[in-house]
């Protein structure tokens, strides 16, 4: 058998736990209220355009981007602005949110969304590259894989950076999460449409869609959809974490190594997540801003794990009602996957553009972690996909003496969590590395 | 019970693969069982006595430190027990109890805890103790009971004979005897094959990697082969050298000790090479018949340097193409 | 006899050669240093804390001598010590009052609600990577002690979820201020004992919901102050210590106990001095 493509060095194989892989995407009812975070991206904060008491319609601009690296926020539903306040978001940050009471509370959300796609799509052949980029920027699309970097910025490489390959990231290497998996199964045609749009932005460069081989049905569906498209290939990848890391994906598919401190465009590559590609397609074909996303709801407290379309700003508590999750039993609540996701402490926190999963666990799933002394076993170093001497670097961070050479290495950390996962002494290696990055950034 | 309902907040990742320090330590101890069985078979109840005493002494010393020194020590994490067993494998079966107590004290206190406890020690604790005993009590540490000798007769190890009497004295020793353990020596020196059997499990579990054992044994082999080739009348053959003394015990269990070996690939290769080189230097030209312990301790001292100056290649250390 | 004299002679010759070498070197490589720098260094407390902004006491002394000014000053030295330096250098007396750190938060476990069980690294900056706050107030002291570790004078400790500062032990070096990720440690003059123990800029109702002793921006203190020393901006009161007279009127009117006056006996002492 052919050796499946994968990255080097490092990598781990955590249990996949793709409990919701077989559950088709569902649509809930419109919630009573939405709490729409004003900032859902990396970059400059937005300027809020609405005031208390304003009536807004689905698709209206609520907050406007204030620079190139910034992103718009739109209203997912018709409603009235109640208040703009500070509120805990998923992931523990306390930030401004726009509280919106919805007019159509209780009606099926699917009906509202599908109305948008009844119209004739715009004539995409008439659009040139800059118009497509403009539409993407206007729609407030950010990287939906988790980082939340404004997509139009990624699609506009600076002069002198020649893009020769486009990668579509369907690896979904995190345990539990199946949102992208279901999208690739149920919206493969639309994702390929979006992919061809992106291909046009870079003058028809070859495109590779990387999917881990633990999703054979998604591989088949995408292969089928990509059949008549030119220069779009679906690449099966070895199931290995973190296959979906941008730098790892490039290494696996193209064998190119993004230089330290560099970006994918330094090796002529742009990487986009499949959910983002779908949002791009909707934005360009139907002028739909990014106002909803598919979220995996899973964990050992969820009787029937599933994937659900949620309007941005939906409070988690309404999702918990739909999935019949007892809040009193939840001990650990993660937004995103268990490897890179963030814990949250409020069930009223809203879903944002970057929320790929909501995981609920009870006491039994919690790993008690007392930090023991490092026994220099080297597991962290072998697991690190960036080839970092994690044990040595964290020692320096703890002693508060990171030497200049080590600083570069610390900043290269992608926080994938592989090192902490394999550490027999249960050291909080990723947390230390994150603290180290924070210390270095504060010094500068 | 209010507090229990609060949600946990912590940094990612939130899962663990379930490996632990304890698990590693006890696995290593279990893999030593074949070698220990051979020792007991060879030396009888004396071997059991030595094993039991060193194990109890090291764990007891660690427990006392855990009790009376303020920082947190789990004396049952297996590391003290492993040190005790490795110490037992490094002494003769007829070692007196007080010598074992001194060894345990040296191993745990000077070898480990003065550096700051588990993970902080520069030198392999069991080897520190062995070398301490070897220098302090040379008579007790070099009168080796012969295997199967019920009357308590003692003799020299093959390496000791080689040093004092020359190659001719070894005429009656067969290689199979060496490999299987039919020779005089310390508890752990006797059977190379039993040690290898246990180490296979460690390789499978990835608790040790090939770099150090292979370069260590390989270096010993090559150097012995070169000298044997030059003058077979004076120098013993390469197989004799790798199967006698502590080469297997040292290469598989002592030099690969996680705490005191390098973390990087090149560092490990150099470390293994250094161990082999110094072992042979001492065996061929030193005043001691055996050099494994000294060689490993010498190389332990340079581990921080190896780690620092021979780092692994980082991802992205490429020319900007 | 000769056996004794010969080694003595040899060694003596060696000594002579080395000594003249040393002498020549000390002449050739002599660097002039103002002798006053060493004297001033000796007069300093010698904590080498860096609170002045220089790399230790010697560097600070050099700056004092070259600029002939005690500004920036040594935050650790007391008035008498600074006066002695000023006198030695023939400067005018440099009377600067000792500053102390104070916490703009009183969000103890009793006053604000604990919202989570944080199990990460015990450090405020590390916690901030996981969550903005551990309590119901987003501005609250995290109580994980990054400032305590930054303090070189054992003047801080964590008590009931917030940091408590010992004004007597605090030398005003200011090392704790940048060590706080919530930016709620501020310096104030030692004798000015009135502090607003809140940093919440949310609207009154929201602030009150977050913490029972939050400043709700009601303006009562601003109105009652006769010295124009306290002002509310962004729903948060702030004291101007140049004007504050420790009268304590704002403390009395504050409906949420968000203003605190510390150590009544010290106030009396200061008042006596003023009279």
E-strand stretches of B29-174: 144-145, 154-155
**Residue A404 contacts residue B1 (beta carbons within 8 Å):** no
Q: Do B12 and A338 touch (CB under 8 A)?
A: yes
Quote the CA–CA distance of C101 and C76 in Å, as a whole number.
Answer: 12
Among B75-84, B268-277, C188-197, which range has the highest average pLDDT?
A: B268-277
Q: Do C120 and B9 touch (CB under 8 A)?
A: yes
Nearest to A373 among B5, B14, B118 (CB): B118
Residue A413 annotated as lining a ligand binding site: yes
CA distances to B39, B126, B136 from B145, rounded to whole Å, are 12, 21, 19
* H helical segments located in chain C: 2-28, 35-43, 57-67, 79-88, 124-128, 146-150, 204-210, 220-224, 249-253, 264-274
Q: Do C126 and A435 touch (CB under 8 A)?
A: yes
Using a CB–CB cutoff of 8 Å, tell me whether B7 touches chain C.
yes
Q: Is C178 helix (H, G, I), strand (E, B) or coil?
A: coil
Using a CB–CB cutoff of 8 Å, tell me whether A220 touches chain B.
no
Domain ranges of chain A: 1-28+108-367, 379-443
Give me the pLDDT at residue C34, please. Answer: 83
Quote the CA–CA distance of C150 and C148 in Å, as a whole number.
Answer: 5
Residues of chain A neighbouring B24 (CB-CB closer than 8 A) = 375, 377, 424
Residues of chain A whose beta carbon is less than 8 angstroms from a beta carbon of chain C are 85-86, 88, 92-94, 342-343, 345-346, 369, 428, 431-432, 434-435, 438-439
**Burial of residue A123 (number of CB atoms within 10 Å: 0-12, 13-18, 19+):** exposed
Q: How far apart are the first and last CA of chain C?
A: 85
Interface ipTM > 0.85 = yes
Give me the pLDDT at residue C48, please. Answer: 82
Q: Which CATH number does the domain A1-28+108-367 belong to among 3.40.50.150, 3.40.640.10, 3.40.50.1370, 3.40.50.11540? A: 3.40.50.11540
| A209 phi and psi angles, rounded to 5 deg | -105, 110
Give me the pLDDT at residue B170, please. Answer: 66
Give me the pLDDT at residue B154, please. Answer: 65
Instruction: List B residues 97-136 in contact with C (Cβ-Cβ < 8 A).
Output: none
- pLDDT grade for B321, boundaries at 50, 70 and 90: very low
Burial track B109-148 (b if 16+ CB lie within 10 A, e otherwise): bbbbbeeebbbebbbbbbbbbbbbbbeebeebbbbbbbbe
Q: Do B11 and C117 touch (CB under 8 A)?
A: no
Beta bridge partners of A96: A86
Does residue A159 have a pLDDT over 70? Answer: yes
Which of B222, A435, B275 has the alpha carbon at shortest distance from C144?
A435
Domains parsed from chain B with CATH numbers: 21-309 (1.10.3430)
Q: Do A94 and C138 touch (CB under 8 A)?
A: yes
Quote the CA–CA distance of A202 and A272 in Å, as a whole number.
Answer: 13
Per-residue pLDDT, averaged over A403-412, amounts to 90
Per-residue pLDDT of chain C (275 residues; tens, 9 = 90+): 788 899 999 999 999 999 999 999 988 888 888 888 888 888 888 888 877 778 888 888 888 888 777 777 787 887 788 888 888 888 776 556 778 899 999 999 999 999 999 999 999 999 999 999 999 999 999 999 999 999 888 899 999 999 999 988 888 888 899 999 999 999 998 888 899 999 999 998 999 999 999 999 999 999 999 989 999 999 999 999 989 988 888 999 999 999 988 765 555 555 555 44
**Residue A385 contacts residue A7 (beta carbons within 8 Å):** yes
Residue C3: both structure tokens together: 């056996």
Residues of chain B neighbouring A424 (CB-CB closer than 8 A) = 19-21, 23-24
Give me the pLDDT at residue C29, please. Answer: 85
Residues of chain A neighbouring B315 (CB-CB closer than 8 A) = 9, 247, 251, 257, 260, 385-388, 412
| Mean model confidence pLDDT for chain B | 86
Residue C86: both structure tokens together: 């000023």
Do strands A269-273 and A165-169 pair parallel, antiparallel, or not at all (unpaired)?
parallel
Give me the pLDDT at residue B277, please. Answer: 96
Condensed to tens digits (0 to 9), the pLDDT of residues A181-238 reads 999 999 999 999 999 999 999 988 999 999 999 999 999 999 999 998 889 999 999 9
**Residue A101 contacts residue A338 (beta carbons within 8 Å):** no
Quote the CA–CA distance of A71 and A50 in Å, as a whole number.
Answer: 16
**Burial of residue C10 (number of CB atoms within 10 Å: 0-12, 13-18, 19+):** exposed
Q: Which of B1, B10, B16 to mutate to test the interface with C (most CBs of C within 10 A)?
A: B10
- pLDDT grade for B3, boundaries at 50, 70 and 90: very low
Residue B165: both structure tokens together: 């009497």
Give me the pLDDT at residue B2, please. Answer: 43
| B121 phi and psi angles, rounded to 5 deg | -75, 140
Q: Which of C120, C149, C208, C235 to mutate to test the interface with A (most CBs of A within 10 A)?
A: C120
Whether residue A103 is preceded by a cis peptide bond, meaning omega within 30 degrees of 0, is: no
Greatest distance between any 2 Cα atoms in chain C: 101
| Mean model confidence pLDDT for chain A | 92
Q: Do A375 and B318 touch (CB under 8 A)?
A: no
Residue with tokens 């590391």: B79
Nearest to A376 among B23, B263, B319 (CB): B263
Give me the pLDDT at residue C190, please. Answer: 86
E-strand stretches of A51-180: 55-56, 61-64, 73-74, 79-88, 94-102, 165-169
Does residue A139 have a pLDDT over 80? Answer: yes
E-strand stretches of A156-206: 165-169
Condensed to tens digits (0 to 9), the pLDDT of residues A162-172 reads 999 999 999 99
* Chains B & C: contacts with CB separation below 8 Å: 28
Quote the CA–CA distance of A196 and A193 in Å, as a whole number.
Answer: 5
CA distances to A55, A63, B230, C177 from A249, rounded to whole Å, are 44, 33, 55, 43
E-strand stretches of B221-290: none
Residue C52 annotated as lining a ligand binding site: yes
For residue A84, the 8-state DSSP code is E
Quote the CA–CA distance of C175 and C150 in Å, as a whole number.
Answer: 6
Domains parsed from chain C with CATH numbers: 35-89 (1.10.15.40), 99-261 (3.30.70.20)
| A276 phi and psi angles, rounded to 5 deg | -65, -40
Q: Which of B3, B4, B6, B9 to mutate to test the interface with C (most CBs of C within 10 A)?
A: B9
Condensed to tens digits (0 to 9), the pLDDT of residues A47-98 reads 999 999 999 999 999 999 988 888 999 999 999 999 999 999 999 999 999 9
Do strands B7-9 and C116-118 pair parallel, antiparallel, or not at all (unpaired)?
parallel
Which of A209, A260, A203 has the alpha carbon at shortest distance from A232?
A209
**Neighbouring subunits of B (3+ Cβ pairs under 8 A):** A, C
pTM for the predicted model, two decimal places: 0.89
Q: Is B209 helix (H, G, I), strand (E, B) or coil?
A: coil
| B82 phi and psi angles, rounded to 5 deg | -65, -45
Give me the pLDDT at residue C275, please. Answer: 42
Residues of chain A neighbouring C115 (CB-CB closer than 8 A) = 88, 345-346
Quote the CA–CA distance of A192 and A285 in Å, as a whole number.
Answer: 13
Q: How far is A158 from chain B (nearest CA, A)?
A: 16
Per-residue pLDDT, averaged over A16-42, amounts to 93
Q: Which of C116, C122, C142, C161 to mutate to test the interface with B (most CBs of B within 10 A)?
A: C116
């Amino acid at each position: 058998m052919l050796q499946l493509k994968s990255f080097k060095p490092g990598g781990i194989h955590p249990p996949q736990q793709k409990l919701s892989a077989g559950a088709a995407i569902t649509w809930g009812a419109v919630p009573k209220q939405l709490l729409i975070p004003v900032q859902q991206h990396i970059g400059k904060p937005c300027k809020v355009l609405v005031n208390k008491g304003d009536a807004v319609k689905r698709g209206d601009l609520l907050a406007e981007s204030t620079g190139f690296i910034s992103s718009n926020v739109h209203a997912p539903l018709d409603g009235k602005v109640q208040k703009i306040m500070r509120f805990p978001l998923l992931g523990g940050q306390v930030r401004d949110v726009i509280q919106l009471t919805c007019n159509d509370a209780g009606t099926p959300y699917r009906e509202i969304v599908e109305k948008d796609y009844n119209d004739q799509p715009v004539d995409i052949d008439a659009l040139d590259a800059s118009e497509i980029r403009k539409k993407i920027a206007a729609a407030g699309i950010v990287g939906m894989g988790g980082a939340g970097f404004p997509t139009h910025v990624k699609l506009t490489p600076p002069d002198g950076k020649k893009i020769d390959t486009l990668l579509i990231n369907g690896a979904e290497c995190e345990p539990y999460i199946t949102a992208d998996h279901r999208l690739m199964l149920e919206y493969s045609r639309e994702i390929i449409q979006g992919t061809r749009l992106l291909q046009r932005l870079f003058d028809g460069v070859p495109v590779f869609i990387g999917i881990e081989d633990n999703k054979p049905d998604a591989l088949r569906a995408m292969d089928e959809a990509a059949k008549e498209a030119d220069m779009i290939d679906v690449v099966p990848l070895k199931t290995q974490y973190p296959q979906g890391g941008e730098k790892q994906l490039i290494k696996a598919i193209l064998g190119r190594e993004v230089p330290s401190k560099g970006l994918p465009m330094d090796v002529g590559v742009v990487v986009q997540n499949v959910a983002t590609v779908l949002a791009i397609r909707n934005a360009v074909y139907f002028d739909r801003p990014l106002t909803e996303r598919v979220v995996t709801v899973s964990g050992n407290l969820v009787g029937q794990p599933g994937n659900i379309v949620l309007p941005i700003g939906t409070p988690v508590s309404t999702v918990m009602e739909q999935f019949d999750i007892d809040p009193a039993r939840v001990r650990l609540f993660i937004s995103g996957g268990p490897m890179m996701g963030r814990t949250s402490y409020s069930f009223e926190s809203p879903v944002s553009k970057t929320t790929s999963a909501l995981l609920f666990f009870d006491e039994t799933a919690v790993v008690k972690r007392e930090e023991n002394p490092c026994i220099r076993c080297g597991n962290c170093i072998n697991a690190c996909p960036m080839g970092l001497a994690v044990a040595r670097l964290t020692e320096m961070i703890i002693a508060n003496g990171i030497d200049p050479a080590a600083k570069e290495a610390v900043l290269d950390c992608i926080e994938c969590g592989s090192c902490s996962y394999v550490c027999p002494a249960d050291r909080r290696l990723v947390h230390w590395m994150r603290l180290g990055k924070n210390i270095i950034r504060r010094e500068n | 019970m209010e507090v229990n309902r609060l949600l946990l907040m912590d940094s990612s990742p939130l899962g663990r693969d379930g490996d632990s320090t304890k698990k590693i330590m006890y696995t290593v101890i279990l893999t030593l069982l074949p070698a220990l069985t051979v020792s007991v078979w060879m030396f009888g109840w004396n071997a059991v006595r030595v094993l039991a005493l060193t194990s109890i002494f090291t764990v007891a010393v660690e427990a006392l430190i855990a009790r009376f020194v303020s920082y947190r020590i789990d004396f049952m994490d297996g590391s003290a027990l492993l040190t005790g067993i490795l110490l037992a494998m490094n002494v003769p079966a007829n070692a007196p109890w007080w010598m074992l107590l001194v060894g345990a004290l040296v191993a745990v206190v000077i070898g480990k805890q003065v550096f700051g406890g588990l993970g902080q020690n520069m030198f392999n604790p069991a080897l520190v103790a062995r070398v301490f005993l070897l220098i302090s009590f040379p008579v007790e540490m070099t009168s080796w009971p012969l295997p199967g000798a019920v009357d308590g007769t003692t003799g020299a190890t093959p390496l000791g004979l080689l040093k004092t009497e020359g190659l001719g004295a070894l005429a009656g020793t067969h290689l199979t005897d060496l490999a299987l353990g039919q020779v005089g020596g310390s508890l752990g020196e006797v059977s190379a094959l039993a040690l290898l059997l246990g180490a296979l499990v460690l390789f499978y579990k990835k608790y040790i990697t090939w770099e150090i054992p292979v370069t260590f044994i390989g270096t010993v082999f090559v150097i012995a082969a070169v000298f044997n080739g030059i003058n077979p009348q004076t120098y013993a053959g390469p197989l004799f050298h790798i199967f006698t003394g502590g080469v297997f015990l040292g290469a598989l269990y002592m030099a690969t000790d996680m705490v005191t070996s390098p973390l990087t690939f090149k560092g490990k290769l150099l470390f293994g090479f250094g161990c082999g080189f110094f072992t042979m230097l001492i065996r061929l030209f030193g005043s001691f018949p055996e050099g494994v312990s000294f060689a490993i301790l010498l190389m332990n001292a340079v581990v921080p340097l190896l780690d620092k100056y021979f780092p692994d290649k980082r991802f992205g250390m490429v020319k900007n193409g | 006899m000769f056996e004794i004299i010969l080694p003595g002679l040899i060694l003596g010759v060696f000594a002579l050669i080395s000594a003249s070498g040393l002498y020549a070197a000390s002449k050739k490589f002599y660097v002039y240093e103002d002798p006053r720098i060493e004297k001033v260094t000796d007069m300093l407390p010698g904590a080498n804390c860096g609170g002045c902004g220089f790399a230790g006491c010697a560097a600070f002394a050099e700056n004092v001598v070259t600029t002939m000014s005690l500004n920036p000053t040594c935050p650790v030295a007391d008035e008498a010590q600074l006066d002695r330096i000023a006198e030695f250098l023939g400067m005018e007396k440099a009377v600067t009052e000792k500053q102390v750190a104070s916490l703009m938060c009183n969000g103890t476990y009793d006053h604000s609600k604990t919202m989570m069980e944080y199990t990460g690294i015990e450090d405020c900056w590390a916690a901030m990577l996981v969550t903005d706050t551990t309590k119901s107030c987003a501005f609250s002291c995290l109580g994980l002690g990054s400032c305590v570790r930054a303090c070189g004078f054992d003047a801080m400790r964590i008590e009931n979820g917030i940091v408590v500062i010992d004004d007597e032990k605090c030398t005003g070096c200011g090392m704790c201020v940048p060590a706080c990720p919530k930016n709620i440690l501020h310096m104030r003059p030692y004798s000015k004992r009135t502090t607003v123990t809140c940093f919440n800029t949310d609207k009154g109702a929201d602030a009150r919901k977050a913490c029972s002793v939050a400043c709700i921006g009601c303006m009562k203190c601003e109105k009652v102050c006769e010295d124009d020393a306290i002002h509310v901006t962004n729903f948060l009161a702030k004291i101007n210590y140049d004007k504050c007279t420790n009268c304590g009127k704002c403390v009395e009117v504050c409906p949420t106990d968000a203003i605190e006056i510390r150590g009544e006996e010290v106030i009396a002492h200061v008042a006596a001095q003023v009279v």
